Amino acid sequence: MKSEPDTFSISDLYKKSNQIEHWDGVRNYQARNMMRDAMKLGDQVFFYHSNCAVPGIVGIMEVVKEGYPDFSAFDPDDPHFDAKSDPAHPRWMMVDVKYVKTLCRIITLQELKGYPELADMALIRRGNRLSIMPVSPYQWAFILAIG
DNA sequence: GCCAACGTTGGC
DNA sequence: GCCAACGTTGGC
């Protein structure tokens, strides 16, 4: 899962009470579908810092609540407000994630691009701007091992 | 700040 | 349903 550290970084998650945050504001159908259908309780997730000086994987978190309506879409004062989503027919979903650990170093996008083993990763493929992407068990183990 | 790559919107 | 215009993402 990507987040811009200027907006919400892994240390912001660390500082949350219970170290839990709801992953609101995602307004992309593919990403929503993953939170709605694919992400299950206890699933581990990489935290990726995007749109910053050194983009890359910075830590690990865990799904502690499965997909449910993103209430930030209902609030006209919220920057992620969407009039087409209402509580009766919520369009956008989110999950809750909990801090697990911060990696000892940033595994940078530049480094990730260098491994043939990761060539199939959605993150690596050119032009992929999804904010939530799948990681295969092999890719997960590989990245943990180089971290 | 630039710009390529996407996703969304809306006229037709 | 097509597709041009537009907005956004995010690396660089």
Residue range A4-26, pLDDT digits in tens: 999 999 999 999 999 999 999 99
Q: List, in sequence order, the alpha helices (H) in chain A.
A: 10-15, 29-33, 109-113, 137-146
Does the C-beta of A126 come within 7 A of strand B? yes
Q: Which pLDDT value is given to residue A136?
A: 96
Query: What pLDDT score does A128 carry?
Result: 82
Residue A126: what pLDDT? 79
pLDDT exceeds cutoff 90 at A69: yes
Query: In whole angstroms, what is the distance from residue A85 CA to residue A126 CA?
Result: 31
Tokens of A8: 């919400």
For the CA of A131 and the C1' of C11, the distance in angstroms is 14
What is the DSSP pairing of strand A20-22 with strand A2-3?
Answer: unpaired
Give me the domains of chain A, ranges plus CATH numbers: 2-136 (3.10.590.10)
Amino acid (1-letter code) at residue A114 = G
> CA of A51 vs C1' of B2, distance in Å?
14
Say whether pTM exceeds 0.85.
yes
pLDDT, tens digit, for every residue of A16-62?
999 999 999 999 999 999 999 999 999 999 999 999 999 999 999 99
The answer to whether some atom of strand B lies closer than 7 Å to the beta carbon of A6 is no
